Amino acid sequence: MDINITKETLNVNKIVCEKKETIDVQGDMIVPDSKPDILNTINTSGNVCIYKKEVMDGKIRIDGNILTYIMYLADEDKDNIRGLNTGLDFSETINVPEVQSGMNVDISTKIKLIDCKVLNGRKIGIKISLEVNMKIYSKEDINITTNMNDNNIQTLSKNIKINSLLGDGTTKAYVKENVSIPSTDNLAEILNAQTCLVDKDIKVSYNKVLAKSEVEIKIVYLTEDGRICTSRNRLPLVGFIDMPNIKEENICETSYMTKNIIIKPNTIEEHSVYIELEVEISCMVYEEREIKIIQDMYCPGQRMQFDTAMVNTITNKQCKRNICNIREKVNVPELDGGTIVDVEINPIINKENRLNGKILYEGELELNFIFTDRSTVGINTKKVNIPFEQTVDGIENLENNRIDTAIEVSAQEFTNQGGVISSNIDLNLETDMYRNSAIPVIDNITMEEEENLEDYSVIIYVVKPGDTLWKIAKRFGSTVDDIVRVNGIERPDKLNVAEKIYIPKYVLKRAKEPITISQNV
């Protein structure tokens, strides 16, 4: 007797684990001889680079650098606002018991806190609290049993949509440009510089993934005549990743990691600043496939044995992009008569509510205004919080989904009228949803040989809590179809506890012959 099994091959990409770790990066900054002593720090910021990541058994090592800028009050009578910058290197090994060598890891970072302490007039101690978010993936090819060609074999099947991995890849993209400042400004030194990626977009065509975005560069600088000015520029960043057999309708998941940043002023006569960035772009492309998976099987009258393994994979993957427009007026009396030099914006999501295919985000913007005033120092800072709400709708099968939300500031504009600040801020929210599902994989099917024999009987069974027709039929060597037919059951999916049903019980034993199991993949 031949038993033909049909199998389908899937490339599953499962999320092994997610881990959030906070590491402390510390160092000292020595004031160069060319700069005056420090009285106090005014503002500190940093840009994070991860130039190396290594996945080992049970741990992940990351090496990086934080390009740090400090605006400080100098110990001199005039021109007392000055700037310092330094790079703080760090290397950290993070224990992750679930990880194995060869797995992929997606890393994102966020500076939670920067603490500066003036140790003396020529030395500053810096401590940075860096949040590291890691998502570890493992991919493998699996063969799913989808069909048995023997009518006597009873199968319990379920149609399921699976996000099969079509391919993954990595590329590096570069920005090397000179950004101009007004010709009336003779740049003396940079007080602060921030870079971020905005307006990320993905295009799929001709077996390639085109990942494009813009690098927004904000530079606060001091001029030779003592003025504090701000320059904003956007530079294109484009990367191509070869990916055979992908289509426009496939789902692309893309991550960006800054590996290196160089920011340095050119000569005064050039009125420009040189910017160099190296960004690693990683992409995973998924195809949604609906397949029939055999969850259980048996053969009335014969002993059937098989192995069942549960394989975790990603299902119900969706990605939503939304723009949150914030238009608020905030009262900041300290800014009355002053000029805004810079505004640092930190968006935070405090709460996430799910209801009827929608996600309601509740959050706040932490604004740090840096502004000139009439004090002896001439510059000051003020922190203000603005609450916001945003709804993301049109989500399928929201229940039990994992949700990752990335939020970025895509546009900002502030107007000061007598200490009343009109804030126009646009946020980009990218909501990535997926479900970690365990699917059964049946393998190593064997059946015992029997002599010719046929028997038939009917028993009466009382339905117990948790019973299904499948469980009852398998237990007594019957079939679901025969139980439904004999009892005239109209709704096979609904059984009443304590109900009596008739079960035709079969014992069908076939002539002794070799059993051959073949597989079609």
User: pLDDT of 458-490, one tens digit each?
Assistant: 888 999 999 999 999 998 888 899 999 999 998
Q: Is residue 311 in some structural domain?
A: yes
The predicted pLDDT at position 449 comes to 59
| Same domain membership, residue 490 and residue 367 | no
Looking at the structure, do residues 506 and 422 belong to the same domain, yes or no? no
Q: What's the pTM?
A: 0.85
258-279 pLDDT per residue, tens: 999 999 999 999 999 999 999 9
Q: Which residues contact 313 (CB under 8 A, 6 or more apart)?
A: 10, 12, 13, 14, 162, 163, 436, 437, 439
**Are residue 308 and residue 438 in the same domain, yes or no?**
yes
Q: Which of 389, 410, 444 is the last residue of a domain?
A: 444
Does residue 177 belong to any structural domain of this protein? Answer: no
Distance CA 407, CA 366 (A): 13
Name the one residue in this structure whose structure tokens are 């070799």.
Answer: 514
Q: What are the strands of the beta sheet with 420-447, ordered from one edge?
A: 304-331, 420-447, 402-417
Token couple for 412: 């900002």
Domain-located, residue 232? no
Q: Which of 412, 444, 476 is the last residue of a domain?
A: 444
Kindly state whether residues 348 and 440 are assigned to the same domain: yes
Residue 260 in any domain: the answer is no
pLDDT number for residue 453: 47
Fill in the DSSP letter of residue 485: H
| Residue showing tokens 């024999």 | 453
CA within 13 Å, CB half, 471? 9
Residue 493 amino acid letter: D
The CA distances from residue 144 to 160, 173, 340, 441, 442, in Å, are: 12, 38, 62, 6, 7
Domain span including residue 513:
449-520
**162 within a domain of the structure (yes/no):** no
Task: Judge whether residue 281 has pLDDT over 80.
Answer: yes
Residues 365 and 493 in one domain: no
Number of domains composing the chain: 2
- Kindly report the number of other CB atoms within 10 A of residue 60's CB atom: 22
Same domain, 394 and 468: no
In 3D space, the residue among 175, 177, 176, 183 whose CA is nearest the CA of residue 270 turns out to be 183
Query: Do 353 and 431 share a domain, yes or no?
Result: yes
- Which tens digits make up the pLDDT trace of 118-177? 999 999 999 999 999 999 999 888 888 888 877 788 889 888 888 899 999 999 999 999
Which pLDDT belongs to residue 182?
A: 94
Q: In this structure, what CATH number is given to the domain that contains residue 516?
A: 3.10.350.10
Residues 461 and 440 in one domain: no
Model confidence pLDDT, tens digit, residues 225-236: 888 999 999 999
Residue 497 backbone zone (phi > 0: left; psi -120 to 50: alpha; other: beta): beta
Contact assessment for residue 437 and residue 12, using Cβ atoms and an 8 Å cutoff:
no
Which helix (DSSP H) or strand (DSSP E) does residue 315 occupy? strand 304-331
Residue 515 and residue 402 in one domain: no
Instruction: Name the one residue in this structure whose structure tokens are 């990626």.
Output: 197
Residues 423 and 471 in one domain: no
Give residues with Cβ within 8 angstroms of 8, minimum separation 6. Answer: 143, 144, 146, 291, 521
pLDDT surpasses 70 at 518: no
Place of tokens 């117990």: 464
Query: Do 462 and 413 sit in the same domain of this protein?
Result: no
d(CA 217, CA 274): 11
- Which of residues 400, 421, 444 is at a domain's end? 444
Q: Does the residue 185 lie in any domain?
A: no
Residue 363 lies in a domain: yes
* Residue 429 shares a structural domain with residue 486: no
Of 1-10, 121-130, 453-462, 504-513, minimum mean pLDDT range: 504-513
